[in-house]
Chains A and B, each alone.
Chain A
Amino acid sequence: MTALLAVEEVSVRFGGVHALRSVSLEVAAGRVAGLIGPNGAGKSTLFDVVSGLRAPATGRVLMDGRDITGSSPQARARLGMARTFQRLELFGELTVRQHLVVAHRVRHRQARLALDLLGLGSRPRPGEDDAVDGVLDLLGLGSIAGAPARALPIGTGRLVEVARAVATEPRVILLDEPSSGLDGAETERLAAVLGRLRAERAVALLLVEHNVDLVLSLADRVTVVDFGAVIADGTPDDIRADQAVQRAYLGAAP
């Protein structure tokens, strides 16, 4: 079976520094791929390459087996890719609900300036309210739907990032450290949400995390990077047992 999303031998250089060295990984529909590694290992750079914000020096990104290395971020979004950002990239002056409305509308209809000028562009289309409310419920954001994003604490902001990605009804979501800044209860909720996304909507997840326990409990396959290179790749059990990983990253064995 072809992977929904595949990264093939991607390298990125900043000046003389190798941020990524021939990194490969893949994830199938309804599966979770974890990516762990110390700070500066190149995880966020990889996400930028996958989501189209940065061009790799060499290597390819494939979706459904099609080469999308040269595609724009927008084209990838249309193919069903969504992502969150480690450094929150929320739309400060929009409310939580408006974030989801924008995401939903980008997916389902183009803005029509003529209608918008006449004031007909602000009405929700059929099904929009239900879809948006569904995502709000899923992430437990219903009570703050009317709050402007700039007023949110970081943990809540992360959940809004996830919700915004989900609202585009994607087939694959790239999650960049979704649990950092979340408290225990929020993390549990997040884990449950991610589990439901894969089970109910067959969404593929690519998960970058500092919270190793979360990754090892959710992921079907885990890739470990350090200094821009893959140092281990396997099932969570393999990774737990891997000596190199323990040395480079985990410190003491779990």
Chain B
Amino acid sequence: MSAYLVGGLVLGGIYAIATVGLVLTYRSSRVFNFAHGAIAYFLAITFHWLAVDQGWPRLTAGLFTILVAGPVLGVILWAVLFRRLAHAPASVRLVSTVGLWVALPPIARVVYGHREIFDRLGMGPSPARTWKITGVVVDSNQIAVLVSALVVAALLAVLLRTTAWGLSVRATVDNPMMAGIAGIDTERVTAGAWMLGVALAGLAGVLLAPLRGYQDFQFTLLVIAAFAAVVIARMSSLVLAFGGSILIGMLQSLSQSKQAEDLLTHILPKDSIILKGLVPSIPFVLMLVFLLLYRGLAREQFLVDERAGDAVPLDPVVGDRSLFRRLAPLAVLLAVVVALPYLVSGLWQAVVAKGLALSIAFLSYTVVTGEGGMISLCQVTFAGIAGALTARFATGAGMATLPAVLLAALIVVPFGLLVALPSLRLGDLYLALATLAFAELVENMYFQLQSVNQFDSGVAVPRPRIGPIGFSGDRAFYYLLVVLFAVVALLVVNVRRSTTGLTLAAVRSSEPAAATLGISIIRAKLVAFGLSAFIAGLGGGLYVTYAQRSLPYVSFNALIGIVWLAVVVTWGIRSVPGALLAGLSFAVIPHFFSEHFSGGWLELPTMLFGLGAIGLARRPRGIVHDVTHRRRQRAAARATAAKVAT
């Protein structure tokens, strides 16, 4: 038992180091860094490369990574990205760091040579030296974590409480404008916070690797635990961040002990998956518990982003272009989409069908983010649940495929509402974190159930039949998807133009004004969230029908969801053609690369998608908007110039 206590303390210590870095950067810049885990991964790989490939002494390599590489990476990221984000709308800030999360791991693998790392080398001796202290075995890696956590805690306390820099940080956090007026160079303070924050991510990464290895999902688990601790800390309290981290580490470690297992096997059903999924689900459960606990607190007691309602800047709803101008590009796109199966052959027909199924799922972002102004990181999970249910209804219960897809998508809706409800009141960031934790929970519990996963072979799904017409061929199925995409797109456009759409636009622009007008903000957002869950569900059901197999752990895991979001925002989160192109490019680009390249090049598509989302800091409306509106903007500029001249 006491070994699990030490294990929990160690795990909690790593979480704490990661969490305080996250809180520090968020507090000083209002940019919540979703890429924190990816940065930890990047720096851990940097360490490994220095120590193994370059043959540096391991301690030197470790210290260099934490004290030099970390701060340098921090200041570079601040200069090129985070600084620019400080004045961007909340959703752009969120999505840009999500893009960084997507782009960094492949960049690390390309920069340091594409390879899998199977060893678990750390800074300390390898194999680790062990000691027996009052009957508990502790090894050198664990000692390193405990000492580091204590040093970080002490260092931060001293830095923030007693130094001039600490005072400037606290002033900047309270009120950047007043701090600026008082003569504090807030930019320098923020840059310093990012250097420190990124260095702490590096420290957490280098400490985690010898305990858990160098696979990138380990760093995702790290950062999800840190996100839960950040929620416990209400984004602001470093003390709560530390305590929350330890709590999560302890619970995760203790839940693996013999005693806990005995206890749980008594009260839970026998399926061992619940035990297996318990550890990853602890952050989500704790996040949920604390969100519910905090419900009684006033909104002001949270570090809520005041600009949260200021969503992605959008196209004006009213079109002043002529009908022809508006429809011409759409007609061209439609013609290409219809002709596509005849332009490509064989395997590519399946690839474009896959892309189209994804496009339908991507329309759910058009609703939840484009209309609702919310960032959801679990659309992929809704798709995955609906896909698994579709397989169960169609293959298990013998339902016709299309009704099964519809039913599965409807079943997903209440789940969507339940995920959104506790965090909606607190704004975009809490919702994004809760949805991410939910994605992780479902991935580790439901998607790994024996009946869903079937030893990684998945559950078969038959292609549909409508009366005499069968859709077993990829080309026929593709055209069915074209029709279904058009139907869903029509629904989305209808909602946008309706009273619901107007209401959502109002809520997105100004929550106080919407509320005093009598609009129920929670209801409006729930409608958008529920509808988007339904659409994501449809997309998921159709995706498994395309693949003729449901294997959600592979197709719909949380990390894939992150890439989904990056692709969609790159093309345009508000745009129906944007969703279409995003789906097609998500399927086509990686397939193209896998046919023509090998090795590190295969990382390139993911990297591009991530960079696309990062680029949002520059052009928040996406490619589709930029291309279609450039001409219009020029015309408007000319008109204005003419007016000024007269």
Q: Give chain A's interface residues, CB within 8 Å of chain B.
A: 51-53, 55, 72-74, 76-78, 81-83, 85, 89-95, 98, 101-103, 105-107, 109, 111-113, 115-122, 146, 148, 164, 168
Contact = CB atoms under 8 A, between A and B. Distances in A.
B316 A93 contact: yes
Interface of B: 298, 314-318, 490-491, 494-495, 497-503, 505-506, 508-510, 512-520, 527, 531
Given A52-B516, A98-B317, A146-B318, A91 B495 contact: no
A72, A74, A95: most-surrounded residue (chain B CB, <10 A): A74
B317 A121 contact: no
A113 B316 CA distance: 22
B512 A148 contact: no
Contacts of B491: 117
**Residue in B490, B512, B527 whose Cβ sees the most chain A Cβ within 10 Å:** B512
A89 B503 contact: no
Given A55-B298, A90-B513, A93-B316, A116 B518 contact: no
A102 B498 contact: no
A122 B316 CA distance: 16
Contacts of B314: 93
A114 B498 CA distance: 11
B494 A116 contact: yes
A98 B517 contact: no
A148 B316 CA distance: 7
Contacts of A111: 498-500, 503, 527
Q: Is the interface of B mostly helix, strand, loop or mixed?
A: helix
Given A77-B518, A148-B316, A113 B510 contact: no
A121 B499 contact: yes
Given A106-B518, A122-B497, A168-B518, A94 B503 contact: no
B8 to A, nearest CB: 37
B516 A90 contact: no
Contacts of B498: 111, 115-116, 119-122
B527 A148 contact: no
A90 B495 contact: no
A91 B494 contact: no
B318 A95 contact: yes
10 contacts: A53-B515, A73-B512, A98-B317, A105-B502, A106-B503, A116-B494, A117-B495, A119-B494, A119-B497, A121-B494
A111 B496 CA distance: 12
A210 B600 CA distance: 65
B494 A93 contact: no
Given A113-B531, A115-B498, A94 B317 contact: yes
Nearest to B514: A91
A83 B516 contact: yes
A53 B495 contact: no
Contacts of B499: 102, 105, 109, 111-112, 116, 121-122
Nearest to A151: B316
Give the most central of A78, A83, A95, A106: most B CB within 10 Å: A106
Contacts of A76: 516
B617 to A, nearest CB: 20
Given A92-B509, A93-B505, A111-B498, A53 B317 contact: no
A116 B500 contact: yes
Given A55-B298, A117-B494, A102 B515 contact: no
A116 B497 CA distance: 8
Contacts of B500: 111, 113, 116, 121
Contact of A77 (B318, B490, B503, B517): B517
Q: Among B495, B508, B518, which residue has the most Cβ atoms of chain A within 10 A?
A: B518
A74 B516 CA distance: 6
**Most chain A beta-carbon neighbours within 10 Å: one of B495, B506, B508, B510:** B506
A85 B518 contact: no
B502 A74 contact: no
